[in-house]
Amino acid sequence: MKLKKWSILLVLVFAMSIFLAACAGDDSESSDGNDSGDTEETEDSGSDSSEGSEDSGSSEDSEGSDGEGELAADQTFDINIKSEPPSLHPGLATDTTSGAVLDQVFEGLMRINQEGEVEEAMAESYEMSEDQTTYTFKIREDATWSNGDPVTAQDFEYAWEWVLDPDNADTDYAYQLYVIKGAQAAKEEGGSIDDVGITAEDDQTLVVELAQPTPYFLDLTAFYTYYPVNHNVVDGNDEWAQDVTENYVTNGPFTLESWEHKNQIVLKKNPDYWDAETVKLETVNMYMVDDENTALEMYNSGELDWAGDPTDSLPLAAIPSLTEDGSLNLSSLAGVYYYSFNTEESPFDNVNIRKAFASAINREGIVQSITQREEQPAMALVPPSIWEENNEGYFADNDPEAAKEYLETGLEELGLDELPAVKLSYNTSEAHAAIAQAVQAMWKENLGVEVELNNEEWNVYLDSMGAGNYQIGRMGWLADFNDAINFLEIFQSVGGNNYTNWESEEYSDLIEQSRTETDDAARKDILRQAEQIFMDDMPIAPVYFYTNAWLSQDYVHGIEVSPLGGVQFKWGYLTEQ
């Protein structure tokens, strides 16, 4: 079907979705979800940097760090994070909402700076062995926990080994640690934690032995699964991260002042943070307003200093006017929005049926007429910001003829005359609803299938997906670090963030082979082979590659939205209006 016809249909679907969203009122739960992992967009991630200014007590510090104006007397920053963070335990979190909080109150060995480069954080220095498999980190002597305890190498050792302990079953991001020698064996194969290559030689020295050279290892140590915890406080206390108590001890630029569940989180500047002189914001209020229109109204009235990504979403209906008046900020984002097929549920246990549904989506129509944020249609898993070849992808967008051929073959293989009704699920959000309604119409038009829509609040939705209680489910993934393996390794085995129930021994072997390949070109070739296998089997239907879209008040400075979908308030500050 031609784009023009679909554009008209999409506009009608979009208009209806806005009407339905308005009728939903406060019952409308929003969020893309990590997609940094999972995005509620959580969801497991640059522009010109604003460096922190000097000590706030000095006369030079009365002006913003880039000279934008005089620092405001009230350094209170208000932002919406849409929903309750599923977990504020660094070892349990897997989504962008949780990550947006954790990245402010904790800090790892390294941190990604405003230029997108990895730099020393809790580690004041590190050394790498000649064979690139052993890292020796020196912990800062002036690094302290918010209760006054020193941050030690033992805190890192404890936190990482806790994630790898097989008795701790809900650590879906444990695989991020599998680059460490013995880590996967300890978690999955009955190996001993004592054999894992993590050694606190003394309070200030942490030695990490890798299974093989890993060029992105330092980037990993900036990710929240690698954050330390105060082992003297949390050991034996499984509930320490459930609320704000004396046990919620952190080491980042901010502390967790209060947590009113499903309503608001308040962060306060950490005066004992090793780099406290860089931190200008005194208070960060994180509201949990699930309705995007309400959040935008709060921004327009001055109640919020920021609206949109990466912690919130802008209403679809507002995008054209925000673009026209020049207030909308857009940047590239290494992430993919997709529909996951439950490959254990008929009819999606058939590859040709999956290909039929993927081929019957008009992605260009969706990004042009619904989302309107300059997203790119996705016909691959790995974003083109990582692999330029994926600007084209592995199959044609909006190919109803191919879809019908796949459908005919699949029905014959399944012994069916026609497709039964199917259910398309998504976490509650205006944007997800509008896209789902458009795709519902496309599948009806191109495949003749009836599609039931099902939406659930984010935490409930994750439980449903994890339990396999779905047929087709909206998901997204934002890069945790800038490497293709971060997308491909999700689907190496069933479980964790792989909700498809698809796995392939050949695919898994290629992922493992890539981990020991030290030649960059050869490694890329191996990973490209893996992606080809994945796309041939089509356990997901990619829809589009993300962009960041946000608004910020003119007096907000020093806060950059990362190409990986993260945001840090360490360098942020407000000037007088």
Each residue's pLDDT tens digit, 93-142: 998 999 999 999 999 999 999 888 999 999 999 999 999 999 999 999 99
170-198 pLDDT, tens digit per residue, is 899 999 999 999 999 999 999 999 999 99
Residue 304 lies in a domain: no
CB neighbours of residue 166 within 10 Å: 14
Predicted pLDDT at 38: 54
- pLDDT at residue 4 in the model: 41
Q: 296, 341, 343: which is closest to 322 by C-alpha?
A: 296
- Report the pLDDT averaged over residues 241-248: 95
Structure tokens at 189: 């194969």
In this structure, how many other beta carbons lie within 10 angstroms of the beta carbon of residue 455? 19
Q: What is the mean pLDDT of residues 27-55?
A: 36
| Statement to judge: residues 272 and 353 lie in one domain | no
Whether the predicted pLDDT of 55 surpasses 80: no
390 and 257, same domain (yes or no) = no
CATH code, domain with 252:
3.40.190.10
Tokens of 84: 């309750």
pLDDT of residue 61: 46
Domain-located, residue 508: no
Specify the CATH number for the domain of residue 364: 3.10.105.10
Indicate whether 251 and 358 sit together in one domain: no
> According to the model, what pLDDT value does residue 497 have?
87
Per-residue confidence (pLDDT) for residue 459, from 0 to 100: 85
CA angle 321, 368, 337 (to 5 degrees): 105
- 5: pLDDT confidence band, cut at 50, 70 and 90? very low
Q: What pLDDT, in 10s, does the model give residues 308-353?
A: 999 999 998 999 999 999 999 999 899 999 999 999 999 999 999 9
| Closest to 181 (Cα-Cα) out of 201, 194, 163, 196 | 196
Tell me, what's the pLDDT at 160?
A: 98
Q: How does the average pLDDT of the chain come out, rounded?
A: 89
pLDDT score at 34: 40
Residue range 506-542, pLDDT digits in tens: 999 999 999 888 888 999 999 999 999 999 999 999 9
What value does the mean pLDDT take over residues 546-552? 96
What's the pLDDT score for residue 40? 52
360, 403 contact by CB (below 8 A): yes
Looking at residues 356-364, what average pLDDT do you find? 98
Residues 283, 420: one domain? Answer: no
Q: Is residue 16 part of a domain?
A: no
- Non-local (6+) Cβ contacts of 173 within 8 A are 37, 44, 91, 93, 94, 163, 225, 496
User: Is 108 in the same domain as 156?
Assistant: yes
The answer as to whether 224 is a domain residue is yes
Bridge partners of 63? 70
pLDDT, one tens digit per residue, over 460-504 is 999 999 999 999 999 999 998 889 999 999 999 888 889 999 999
Q: Is-contact 439 361, C-beta < 8 A?
A: yes
| Whether 301 contacts 295, CB under 8 Å | no
Asked if residue 206 belongs to a domain, the reply is yes
pLDDT classification of 363: cutoffs 50, 70, 90: very high
User: Can you list the alpha helix ranges (DSSP code H) found in 32-152?
Assistant: 96-105
What pLDDT is attached to residue 66? Answer: 58
Overall number of domains in the chain: 2
> pLDDT at residue 254 above 80?
yes
Instruction: Tell me the sheet residues that pair with 331.
Output: 548
Domain-located, residue 40: no
Residue 36 has pLDDT above 50, yes or no: no
**pLDDT for res 116:** 85
Q: Tally Cβ neighbours within 10 Å of residue 275.
A: 16
Distance CA 260, CA 313 (A): 22
What H or E segment, with its residue span, contains residue 441?
A: helix 430-447
If asked whether residues 371 and 286 sit together in one domain, one would say: no
Phi-psi region of 25 (alpha: psi -120 to 50; beta: other; left: phi over 0): left
Rounded mean pLDDT, 234-239? 93
Asked whether the beta carbons of 359 and 408 are under 8 A apart, the reply is no
392/290 same-domain check: no
Residue matched to tokens 């080491």:
251
The residues facing 118 across adjacent strands are 112
pLDDT class of 562 with cuts at 50, 70, 90: confident
From the number of C-beta atoms within 10 Å of its C-beta (0-12, 13-18, 19+), residue 194 rates as exposed
What CA–CA distance (Å, rounded) separates 242 from 239?
Answer: 6
In a domain, residue 178? The reply is yes
Give the residue carrying structure tokens 């989506």.
Answer: 361
pLDDT at 496: 80
Tell me, yes or no, whether 432 and 354 share the same domain.
yes
Domain assignment present for 576 = no
Provide the domain limits for residue 262: 76-296
What is each CA distance from 396 to 385, 530, 546, in whole angstroms? Answer: 20, 20, 19
Q: Is 170 in contact with 92 (CB distance < 8 Å)?
A: yes
**Overall pTM > 0.95:** no
Same domain, 273 and 139: yes
346/286 same-domain check = no
The neighbour count for residue 283, using CB atoms within 10 Å, is: 15
Is the same domain home to 292 and 353? no
The tokens for 262 are 């499903």
pLDDT at 63 over 70: no
What is the per-residue pLDDT for 67? 57
Element (H, E) at 474: strand 472-478
Pairing of strands 76-80, 110-112: unpaired
Residue pair 367/6 in contact by the 8 Å Cβ criterion: no
> Of 21-25, 65-69, 427-431, 438-442, which one has max mean pLDDT?
438-442
Output the six-digit token pair for 236: 């034996």
Q: Are 373 and 446 contained in the same domain? A: yes
